[in-house]
A and B are shown apart, each in its own frame.
Chain A
Amino acid sequence: MDFLKQLAMLLRMNLLGVPQHLGLACTTVIGVTCAVGVLVSMLAMGVGARREAMGNVRPDRVSVLSVDAAGLSQSNIPPDVAALIGDLPGIRRNASGQPIAVPQAMVFVLARRNDSGSLVGFPLTGAGAGLADYAPELHLTAGRMFRPGLLELVASNTCAHQYQHFRVGDTRLIQGVEWLVVGNFDLGRSNGRCGAYTDANTVLSAFGRSSYNDVNVVLQSPAAFDEFVNAIRGNRLLHVRVEHEAELAADDVRQVNGILIFVSYFVGAILAVAATIGSANSLYAMVDSRRRELTTLRAVGFSGAPVIAATLLEAILLAIPGALIGAGLAWLFFNGLTASPLGFSFHLAVTPYLAALGIGWALGMGVLGGLLPAVRAARMPVTVALRAK
């Protein structure tokens, strides 16, 4: 009880003294603001990239790949195998009673950027019948859907905005033949990348291929996953494996995200160290300026522990506003901003989780910065300090 009473009094004294040392107090606040602001803004890139990739992911959608493929591009599913997959149990059926199992063949084709004129690869995905059932988030904003068997494609609006010859009515030369762009679409919550769809068999014949990359399946429910996998295991004709859509999407951004997260924490940590040092320095000065008060209190019976606790609490109370301001500024300036630091663009996302993370870092900076000054405050030799002016 004594401890709490003493702590409350010391804290009150410390905080009432803050206006007299406004500059010193602001050192902590501004240092933490900068460190947290930078950390949160940079992590917001990673969160944004992940959100972009995972935006449309649904737990009931899975992809069937060949068993040895490390990823979609190495996977090979011949048409006869694709046909077998459609007959497996656990697959949802569309309005006309057909199973939603869409074979897909992906090729990378080059497109020219509007701004720089440089060539960049984009995925042209050939999809079998049932694309609309599999991906209801794909909705046309202009034109119409491609027709099977014809050299027609629909392109995302990202393509239409960033690259040449992707608007409805444009023709593109792919594999030496002219393709007609018949539609533009939005793709639900992930619109960052350029991608185009056409008929699967058109891709196979135009690119001289004999097999699809994978078969995309909508399950009756996420719980039907085991039933579906067991059916595949039980069929000796199928050398395939099943991946949740979420896993494939996460694989896609893992490398980019790894870099972003590493750089964010690296830079954030250096800034945090600088802020902690600055905070420690200003707290030392504040503690020194309160020598007489502190030693007087020690002389009348205050113990050391509350002195330490009060100084630490003061450091934390100064760091928290810094964190809030930093996270707030990051949100104000960068939330929703489009960035393309590593080749593809996405919106930065400053989430409550990131704000909480920032506050956590601020707590760390406060405690580490306050520790040494707090110990010094508690250890001041009473007689010497009282004798000094």
Chain B
Amino acid sequence: MKYLPLVWSGIWRKPVRTALIFLQVCVAFTLFGILQGMRIGMDRAIANTPADVLYVGPAVYGEPPLPIADLSRLQSIPGVNAVSFNYGMLTFYQKPTQAVYVLGIPPSDLMRTILPEEFIVQPEDLEALRKTPTGILITADIGRKYGWHIGDKIPLTSSTLQTNGSATWTFDIVGMATLNNRDEGIYVFANYYHIDEARALNKGTVGHFYAIASDPKQAATVSDAIDRAFANSASPTHTESFRDFAQEDLQSLGDLNFAILSILSAVLVALVFSTTTMMMQTVRERTPELAVLKTFGFGNRTVFLVIAAESLVVCIPASLAGLALAWITFPFAAKYIAGLSMPMVIVAFGILGAVLVAVISVSVPALRAARLNIVDALAER
């Protein structure tokens, strides 16, 4: 502790240099925080995806859609606890480039429990959807995008025609819903029964069923049972749990971990080299001062520790500042990447990394300082 003033004055001997080192470490750890946060975020997103919600769709993408009559048969399959469904309709608002995806859902409370992390809707909003057949719930994102508010009437154009031949569907905004992770400001939620009644074709069909397995561990068995049950029907199915979907997404991102690791290694190499040369330079410039310290009786070990402490005192706060900066950017990045987060593990790894950078970069110069020969150093030889 008594050496603290010594360490402190050593740090501020060249304020610009120290500030630049601080900034460089800070920037490097910002990148570390963002990349690690991304990786952890993705792992977490998968772990949080419910394994018990099965997504039942047609075996072939597109057509033919599944008849809603399959609902009762799905419910009777052993291991299936509850069933819900959706029908998605691609529309556009005003011009074809402004795509709006209208997801028709039954306004039942079951929708609140299917993906409780991803799709969040309040009971009163569902109630509004029940009461107003032409109602839709919008997300805050799409509302901001087009300036929509509750109470507005929104005309949407679709290739799905209504019974009267019109391609324009007019909806009333009756409430809000939240869609985490994948909301790109294109989704709205409508009353399935209204869409089904109003459309000209494909009446009585759904896009997908949500089947909730009573036991998440049996999800795979139940999926197979569902597909087997419908294999020889007019509408064969393909069933997968949401967890499987998320895992496939991750597999397709398989090379990402390698990329993150490579980038972080490159950053670390550049950073360590840079801090090492700066510390060397500092020690070289201070040779006479260090010699004076030794003349006063400072031991080799003490000199070593003073120099090492200087480096640690700069690097650790800088790394924390960098992690904080990364954490600040997360809300902005959350739009693109699901579930960014910075658990304490990353902070711990960040501090460990900072200590490592400090120790590696300071070891050679500090050793040199410790081994100074007083007579030579004072003579500046």
In the complex, whether A27 has a CB less than 8 A from a CB of chain B is yes
CB atoms of B60 and A175 under 8 A apart: yes
Q: List the count of A-B residue pairs having beta carbons below 8 Å apart.
A: 130
In the complex, whether B259 has a CB less than 8 A from a CB of chain A is yes
* Chain A residues within an 8 Å CB radius of B16: 284
Give the distance to chain B from A286, nearest Cβ to Cβ, in Å: 9
In the complex, whether B228 has a CB less than 8 A from a CB of chain A is no
**Contact status of A280 and B60, CB under 8 A, knowing A23-B280, A274-B271, A342-B252:** no
* Chain B residues within an 8 Å CB radius of A141: none
CB atoms of A24 and B281 under 8 A apart: yes
* Chain A residues within an 8 Å CB radius of B59: 110, 175
Chain B residue nearest to A345 (CB atoms) is: B255
* Chain A residues within an 8 Å CB radius of B269: 30, 34
CB atoms of A342 and B253 under 8 A apart: yes
**Contact status of A273 and B96, CB under 8 A, knowing A176-B232, A285-B278:** no
CB atoms of B27 and A270 under 8 A apart: yes
CB atoms of A341 and B23 under 8 A apart: no
> Interface residue count for B (Cβ, 8 Å)?
51
A35-B24 Cα distance, complex, nearest whole Å: 13
Interface residue tally on A, bucketed by range: 35 or more
CB atoms of A274 and B252 under 8 A apart: no
A108-B63 Cα distance, complex, nearest whole Å: 10
In the complex, whether B244 has a CB less than 8 A from a CB of chain A is yes
In the complex, whether B163 has a CB less than 8 A from a CB of chain A is no
Give the distance to chain A from B125, nearest Cβ to Cβ, in Å: 30
Q: CB within 8 Å of B: which of A9-39?
A: 23-24, 26-27, 30-31, 33-35, 37-38
Identify B61's interface contact among A108, A274, A277, CB under 8 A: A108
* Chain A residues within an 8 Å CB radius of B255: 339-341
Identify A34's interface contact among B17, B266, B280, CB under 8 A: B266
Identify A118's interface contact among B60, B236, B251, B267, CB under 8 A: B251
Q: CB within 8 Å of A: which of B61-91?
A: 61-64, 90
* Chain B residues within an 8 Å CB radius of A280: 20
CB atoms of A341 and B267 under 8 A apart: no
**Contact status of A274 and B27, CB under 8 A, knowing A118-B244, A118-B251, A267-B263:** yes
A176-B23 Cα distance, complex, nearest whole Å: 63
* Chain B residues within an 8 Å CB radius of A343: 252
Give the distance to chain A from B13, nearest Cβ to Cβ, in Å: 12
CB atoms of A274 and B267 under 8 A apart: yes
| A-binding residues in B (CB < 8 A) | 16-17, 20-21, 23-24, 27-28, 30-31, 35, 59-64, 90, 96, 99, 159, 231-232, 236, 238, 240, 244, 247-248, 251-256, 259, 262-263, 266-267, 269-271, 273-274, 276-278, 280-281, 336
Provide a sorted-by-A list of 10 A–B residue pairs whose CB atoms are within 8 angstroms. Answer: A23-B280, A27-B277, A30-B274, A109-B60, A110-B59, A110-B238, A118-B248, A274-B31, A274-B271, A278-B24
